Amino acid sequence: MESKSGETSISAGSHPAMLLWSAIAIALFILLMVKEPNAVVEGIPTRKRRIFAFLIDFWFSLLTLSAFGALLPLLLEAVRTGHFAWHFQRNYSVNTDGLSAVSIPLFVALITLYFAFPLTRGRQTVGCFIMRLRVTPPFGDQGCFTVRAALRRTFCAFFGLCSIDWDRDGYGRTWYDRETDSTVVLVSDQ
């Protein structure tokens, strides 16, 4: 939805292929949640590796969730018009457009949980798996974060990745690693 100078433009869309991609991506995520992560630590990851892992995770979660997120406005439009279409665009607003806005906080919460949930299980996100990274809790290489600690780590990491302060200590820990008492390590690919 875009509103500018009294003009309103509303559009939404998805595609069956994107829903298939989302289903495959969710299956991959579930597989990573049940697979035991590699525990062989090889060293400290580079800053570039950590950034690439975040970008992979961000785009993976965004693409996976957005295909399903578009279904609510599409279904509301189908109920309103009596015809389902995979895409619509109109230059006026209707009462049901406000219901679509309800999905935005849910969407943000699901992306946050994508990053936090693996920490509570002692697992890797897709980006961490691809880049061979593992976030370890305060008490060693094994174990899980509590839900509260995982959410705190997720928020601090997001703000840390968006900041320009990337000074690292001798263990490769950034300010947000130290703040959440965690370490990001490079693991073996075996």
**Among the listed residues 13, 37, 12, 15, the one whose alpha carbon sits nearest the alpha carbon of residue 119:** 37
Report pLDDT digits (tens) over 99-158.
Answer: 777 788 888 999 999 999 999 998 999 999 999 999 988 776 677 888 999 999 999 998
**What's the mean per-residue pLDDT of the chain?**
87
Task: Give the residue-averaged pLDDT of 7-17.
Answer: 87
Map out the domains of the chain as residue ranges: 2-33+40-187
Strand order in the sheet with 2-4: 2-4, 7-13, 87-90
Instruction: Give 190's pLDDT tier (boundaries 50, 70, 90).
Output: low
Angle, helix 47-69 to helix 103-121, in steps of 10 degrees: 130
Asked whether the CA dihedral 55, 147, 144, 138 is positive or negative, the reply is positive
Given a cut of 80, is residue 176 above it in pLDDT?
A: yes
The predicted model scores a pTM of 0.85
More confident call, 138 vs 183:
183
pLDDT number for residue 87: 93
Q: What is the pLDDT of residues 59-91, one digit of tens each?
A: 999 999 988 888 888 998 899 899 999 998 988
Q: What is the pLDDT of residue 149?
A: 92
User: For residue 69, which amino acid is it?
Assistant: G
